[in-house]
Amino acid sequence: MNMEKISLSHGSGGKMMHALIEDIFFKHFGNDVLKEAGDSACLALGTKNIAFTTDSFVVKPIFFPGGDIGKLAVCGTVNDLAVSGAVPKFISAAFIIEEGFLLSELEVIAASMRKWSDISAVKIVTGDTKVVEKGEADGIFINTAGIGTFENEVRLGISSIKAGDKVIVSGTIGDHGIAVLSKRKGLEFESGIMSDCRPLNRMLHEALGVGGVRFMRDPTRGGLATTLNEIADKAGLGIVINEESIPLSDGVRGACEILGLDPLYIANEGKAVIIAEPSSVKELVLRLRENEYGKEAVVIGEVTKDIQGKVVLRTRLGTRRFIDMLTGEQLPRIC
Amino acid sequence: MIRYVDEYRDVELSLKIAGKIRDISTKPFNVMEVCGGHTMAMRKYGVHKLIGPNIRLISGPGCPVCVTSLKDIDKAIALAWAADVSICTFGDMVYVPGTSSSLAQAKAEGRDVRTVYSVHDVLNFAKEEPKKEFVFISIGFETTAPTAAAAIIEAREEKVNNFSVLALNKTMPAALTALLGDGSSIVDALIAPGHVSTITGLSIYEPIVKDLGISCAVAGFEPADILRAIFLLAELFEKGEVELINAYERAVKKEGNKKALAVMSEVFEESDAEWRGLGVIPRSGLKLRKAYAGLDAEKRFKIPAGDISSVCEGACICGDILKGIKEPPDCTLFGKACTPESPCGACMVSSEGSCAAWYKYEVPSSKVASSRG
Amino acid sequence: MCWSIPGKIINIKGNIAEVEIGGARRNVRLDLIDAPAVGEYMLIHAGYAIQKVDEESAKFTLEFFEKCREEYKIKDKG
């Protein structure tokens, strides 16, 4: 069914969102840099190379186990810079606030942004504030944009991925999505799961120091499956992952079992997918595990030229099936 | 470790049972399952790839969302447009297309459409917002109908007057007989839906076993459960015997859940129902009894009759696919006009329909056009 | 119509049980169950317990599995 209006599916990180971006935004804005569709744009400014990115944060509820919209806004942008291989330096913060929003909550959010930008060693250097009438924004929306620098000869890119490269994920998947979902009205459940929202720049900087990293991305909306599909599609190669290797916490597993959700499609906010050349992988995983945010880093699969542009899951029973990109929203089901 | 789940997901065990199946299977054998959960589980674990070349798994009409008729979906969408009504539905239903729209589209156009995990959430909403009317779109088979019935009883007892239900539930027995008793049926055995059976018990399968001579095995949903059921059915078939087997003993009692059945029958009575792709099947649906007419959304709201005609209707072969006579790639619409993003018939509508499952888990072959156009 | 998962009753308050599945917990309704008890396993569907998991009967399935494990060797992984 062709929709003439924007629906929630257009924002869920899956196929419909990708189609929207291509059919409208790329069509009108398209240029070489934009079409790279990297987490950050890598730009040459005179003799220096910088990374530039932006993201908007609309999460509900705004306070969730393990974080808040402010923490998300800082870490999300820091991570988009970090996975591009840049050192995050400065971010902007623009607020759209609904009339009636509590000042006390705004304080908490601002304090959280300060805390997490200090931890990430970035400065919030510019911003904007708009207030709209009641009903015109759901509480608060935050946009952050960030600038980072490339400190060394690191050049990451999908085009450098080769068949035989290994796929690493830096920890358990689905934590953020489940933490947020557990507080949503009508679905309330306890999982003990905290959002994994955190800044990965230090961890990824260490990883880059090992060498052999081809490409990195953070699997946010649409989950691990969508991110791997994006990479496979752009690289023109295949990715095979092992069901048994995918790290999953008990709470996320239980929550997914109750609601009938697939953790492969659930958002993460503090994880990275790293594609690396085979000889570096052992040390990379060790180095990631030395960092508090990478303790469960593990190899989950490999890149292959046997299939093109697709992702395959090797099930626990040894059979194989395709894992597609998320289509629309993933909703809890009874069936 | 999730108890009563992981033991039945054991890899070594599952592969051993699969090996046993391959060993005893000597001739073509068609097994149908009629449960969305079974379709999903089989696809997820690649069961069809483990059981050898003789056994064909057919997905029958086991997805209550898929078989909801266009007329009924249009009713739900029309209700979304009634003044100050909140439509509450399971996630499965939100993107299902009616004749010209969907609940998702109604939501996009500003109507109050909410996704719920349980009918009880709708009761809670109704209590919290007494000025608004809440309508629950009640879909599902005998597994789900008792929960709707329980909520209806509770609403009546607690005088929650702004809660009502659009009853679109369907029941298995009449549909199974219609499907398997059809002269064109090629089904040799049935994997019976595990969770429907926890409610109904085993007696609903007796006519199929006794009158149609088709073995039934009630199965659970983990790979070892499903493989065990297939093994037991294959064994019977190879011996030329016919039996009714409960292979989900831990969840299914012979008599079912009597309390749930009583609750269901207190609120609901049998009715004829239209199944998308199959037409009207007598006594295969549930409607609210007269005593509960006050909570029936069809009586509380005037729902305009719609005009049903769809581009897909002429070419859609869902009926044949649901009976196992054809497979998704046999359909001219499959992967072209009919994709998960823009589904035509029942089989592509929900993510567990035969066509959706095929599209998602199998190789999108050169026969199928790219979904992006 | 089918998505159900077994969970263990952790506590009961009136008609509502707190149930644990893996590492997650949720409240479920007990309207459809006779005499539920803490420690019992229930099949949970759409926010309601729909049947008790029969531990005794589970043994039948597990016995079949044990037999399979003992008598059968995997020939190929398929």
How confident is the model at residue C77, as a pLDDT?
Answer: 39
How confident is the model at residue B97, as a pLDDT?
Answer: 81
Kindly tell me the burial class for residue B253, based on how many C-beta atoms sit within 10 Å of its own C-beta (0-12, 13-18, 19 or more).
middle
Helix, coil or strand: residue B137? strand
How confident is the model at residue B256, as a pLDDT?
Answer: 97
Containing structural domain, residue B351: 318-361
Read off the pLDDT of each residue in A128-143 and give the average, rounded to a whole number.
Answer: 93
pLDDT > 80? residue A24 = yes
Q: Which of A94, A116, A149 is the last residue of a domain?
A: A149
The per-residue pLDDT of chain B, averaged, comes to 88
Position with higher pLDDT, B241 vs B180:
B241
Which chain A positions have a beta carbon within 8 Å of C47's beta carbon?
none
**How many Cα neighbours within 13 Å face the side chain of A258?**
31
Answer whether B2 sits within 8 Å of C6, measured CB to CB. yes
Determine, yes or no, domain membership for C78: no
Number of domains chain C is built from: 1
How confident is the model at residue B360, as a pLDDT?
Answer: 75
Q: Mark whether A74 and A212 lie in a shared domain.
A: no
Select from B44, B247, A319 the least CA-distant residue to C65: B247
Position with higher pLDDT, B267 vs A154:
B267
Q: Mark whether B75 and B86 lie in a shared domain.
A: yes
Which chain B positions have a beta carbon within 8 Å of A20's beta carbon?
none
The minimal CB distance from A333 to the residues B90, B343, B362 is found for B90
Tokens 């994994």 correspond to A196
Answer whether C6 sits within 8 Å of B4, measured CB to CB. yes
B266 shares contact with chain C (CB less than 8 Å):
no
Q: What is the pLDDT confidence band of residue B367, given thresholds at 50, 70 and 90? A: very low
Containing structural domain, residue C13: 5-71
Q: Mark whether A208 and A317 lie in a shared domain.
A: yes
Q: Mark whether B32 and B153 lie in a shared domain.
A: no
pLDDT > 60? residue A202 = yes
Which chain A positions have a beta carbon within 8 Å of C20's beta carbon?
254
Q: Mark whether B186 and B223 lie in a shared domain.
A: yes
Model-level pTM greater than 0.80?
A: yes
The secondary structure of residue B68, as a DSSP letter, is B
> Which range in A257-271, B182-196, B231-245, C53-67 is most confidently predicted, on average pLDDT?
B231-245
Read off the pLDDT of each residue in B211-231 and give the average, rounded to a whole number.
Answer: 95
Q: Mark whether A191 and A309 lie in a shared domain.
A: yes
How confident is the model at residue A159, as a pLDDT?
Answer: 92
Instruction: State ipTM.
Output: 0.86
pLDDT > 70? residue B313 = no
How confident is the model at residue C69, as a pLDDT?
Answer: 75
Neighbours of A131 (CB within 10 A): 13
Q: Mark whether B84 and B196 lie in a shared domain.
A: no
Q: Mark whether A60 and A143 lie in a shared domain.
A: yes
Asked if B23 and C74 touch (Cβ cutoff 8 Å), the reply is no
Q: Mark whether A82 and A61 lie in a shared domain.
A: yes
CA distance to partner chain C, nearest, from residue A245 (Å): 18
* AA identity, residue B234: A
B345 shares contact with chain A (CB less than 8 Å):
no
Which chain B positions have a beta carbon within 8 Å of A5's beta carbon?
105, 108-109
Select from B15, B8, B59 the least CA-distant residue to B37: B59
Determine, yes or no, domain membership for B307: no
pLDDT > 90? residue B279 = no
pLDDT > 60? residue A56 = yes
Q: Which helix (H) or strand (E) holds A87?
A: strand A87-98
Containing structural domain, residue A67: 39-149
- In chain C, whose CA is at the least distance from the CA of A186? C47
Q: Mark whether B331 and B209 lie in a shared domain.
A: no
Number of domains chain A is built from: 2
Give Cα B56 distance to the centre of its chain. 20
How confident is the model at residue B62, as a pLDDT?
Answer: 79
pLDDT > 80? residue B160 = yes
How confident is the model at residue C75, as a pLDDT?
Answer: 43
Read off the pLDDT of each residue in A111-133 and give the average, rounded to a whole number.
Answer: 96
Determine, yes or no, domain membership for A25: no
Determine, yes or no, domain membership for A197: yes
Determine, yes or no, domain membership for A118: yes
How confident is the model at residue B244, as a pLDDT?
Answer: 97
Asked if B166 and B76 touch (Cβ cutoff 8 Å), the reply is yes
Three-class secondary structure assignment of chain C: CCCCEEEEEEEEECCEEEEEECCEEEEEECCCCCCCCCCCEEEEECCEEEEECCHHHHHHHHHHHHHHHHHCCCCCCC
Q: Mark whether A129 and A166 lie in a shared domain.
A: no
Q: Does the bond joining A61 to the residue before it have cis omega, within 30 degrees of 0?
A: yes
B19 shares contact with chain C (CB less than 8 Å):
yes
Select from A135, A259, A325 the least CA-distant residue to B115: A259
Q: Mark whether B183 and B232 lie in a shared domain.
A: yes
- In chain B, whose CA is at the least distance from the CA of A321? B361
Tokens 């593990």 correspond to A298
pLDDT tens readout for residues B26-71: 999 999 999 888 988 998 899 999 999 999 998 888 788 888 888 8
DSSP conformation letters of A155-182: ---GGG--TT-EEEE-S-SSHHHHHHHT
- C2: its two tokens: 């089918």
Q: Which of A117, A149, A181 is the last residue of a domain?
A: A149
Read off the pLDDT of each residue in B329-346 and give the average, rounded to a whole number.
Answer: 83
What's the rounded Cα separation, in Å, for the pair B358 and B352? Answer: 9
Asked if A12 and A221 touch (Cβ cutoff 8 Å), the reply is yes
Which chain A positions have a beta carbon within 8 Å of B117's beta carbon?
186-187, 259, 332, 334
Read off the pLDDT of each residue in A293-320 and give the average, rounded to a whole number.
Answer: 95
List the CATH number of the domain containing B285: 3.40.50.11740
Give Cα C44 distance to the centre of its chain. 8
Q: Mark whether A145 and A188 lie in a shared domain.
A: no
How confident is the model at residue B311, as a pLDDT?
Answer: 53
List the CATH number of the domain containing A109: 3.30.1330.10
Strand residues in B128-202 grouped as ranges (E): 133-138, 163-167, 189-192
Q: Mark whether B186 and B238 lie in a shared domain.
A: yes
Give Cα B332 distance to the centre of its chain. 24
List the CATH number of the domain containing A227: 3.90.650.10
Determine, yes or no, domain membership for C31: yes
Answer whether A193 sits within 8 Å of C22, measured CB to CB. no
What's the rounded Cα separation, in Å, for the pair B348 and B345? Answer: 6
pLDDT > 70? residue A115 = yes
Answer whether B95 sits within 8 Å of A187, measured CB to CB. no
Q: What is the pLDDT confidence band of residue A141, given thresholds at 50, 70 and 90? A: very high
Q: Is the dihedral of CA B307, B312, B318, B320 positive or negative?
A: positive
Q: Which helix (H) or strand (E) holds B322?
A: helix B318-322
Tokens 């952790």 correspond to C10
* Strand pairing class (C5-13; C41-45): antiparallel
Q: Mark whether B18 and B145 lie in a shared domain.
A: no
Helix, coil or strand: residue A213? strand
pLDDT > 90? residue A155 = no
State the Rg of chain C over Cα: 16
Position with higher pLDDT, B314 vs A39:
A39
How confident is the model at residue A143, as a pLDDT?
Answer: 97
Q: Mark whether B56 and B78 lie in a shared domain.
A: no
Least confident residue range of A27-41, A235-249, A313-327: A27-41
Question: Which residues have C-beta within 8 Å of that of residue C68, sequence separation ≥ 6?
Answer: B13, B16, B17, B20
CA distance to partner chain B, nearest, from residue A323 (Å): 7
Number of domains chain B is built from: 3
Read off the pLDDT of each residue in A14-26 and give the average, rounded to a whole number.
Answer: 86
Least confident residue range of A119-128, B75-84, B348-357: B348-357
Determine, yes or no, domain membership for C77: no
* AA identity, residue B52: G
Position with higher pLDDT, A81 vs A152:
A81
Helix, coil or strand: residue B150? helix
Q: What is the pLDDT confidence band of residue B233, given thresholds at 50, 70 and 90? A: very high
Q: Mark whether B195 and B231 lie in a shared domain.
A: yes
Q: Mark whether B116 and B237 lie in a shared domain.
A: no
Q: Which helix (H) or strand (E) holds A113?
A: helix A103-119
pLDDT > 70? residue B350 = no
pLDDT tens readout for residues B108-120: 888 999 999 899 9
Determine, yes or no, domain membership for C30: yes
> ∠A248-A254-A257 over CA atoms, to 5°?
105
pLDDT > 70? residue C78 = no
- Chains in touch with C (3+ beta-carbon pairs under 8 Å) read A, B
Read off the pLDDT of each residue in A8-20 and give the average, rounded to a whole number.
Answer: 80
Neighbours of B315 (CB within 10 A): 14
> Which range in B100-114, B359-373, C64-78 is most confidently predicted, on average pLDDT?
B100-114
Read off the pLDDT of each residue in A129-133 and give the average, rounded to a whole number.
Answer: 95
Q: Mark whether A144 and A194 lie in a shared domain.
A: no
Which chain A positions have a beta carbon within 8 Å of C7's beta carbon?
258
Answer whether C32 sits within 8 Å of B257, measured CB to CB. yes
How confident is the model at residue A59, as a pLDDT?
Answer: 86
CA distance to partner chain B, nearest, from residue C37 (Å): 16
Determine, yes or no, domain membership for A21: no
Which chain B positions have a beta carbon within 8 Å of A333's beta carbon?
90-92, 351
Determine, yes or no, domain membership for A7: no
Give Cα A78 distance to the centre of its chain. 11
How confident is the model at residue B88, as a pLDDT?
Answer: 96
pLDDT tens readout for residues B142-154: 999 999 999 999 9
How confident is the model at residue A154, as a pLDDT?
Answer: 74
Determine, yes or no, domain membership for A10: no
Determine, yes or no, domain membership for B308: no
The minimal CB distance from A251 to the residues C23, C77, C78 is found for C23
Q: Is the dihedral of CA B342, B348, B349, B352 positive or negative?
A: negative
Which chain C positions have a beta carbon within 8 Å of B249's beta carbon?
54, 57-58, 60-61
Q: Mark whether A142 and A287 lie in a shared domain.
A: no
Determine, yes or no, domain membership for A50: yes
Determine, yes or no, domain membership for B367: no
Determine, yes or no, domain membership for C38: yes
Helix, coil or strand: residue B334? strand
Least confident residue range of A49-53, A263-267, B245-249, B309-313: B309-313
List the CATH number of the domain containing B176: 3.40.50.11750
Give the A:B interface size as CB pairs under 8 Å: 108
List the CATH number of the domain containing C26: 2.30.30.140
The secondary structure of residue A46, as a DSSP letter, is T
- B50: its two tokens: 């483990």
Judged by CB atoms within 8 Å, which residues 26-45 of C form the interface with A? 26-27, 44-45
Least confident residue range of B6-10, B208-212, B355-359, C53-57: B355-359
Q: Mark whether A318 and A199 lie in a shared domain.
A: yes
Q: Mark whether B199 and B144 lie in a shared domain.
A: no
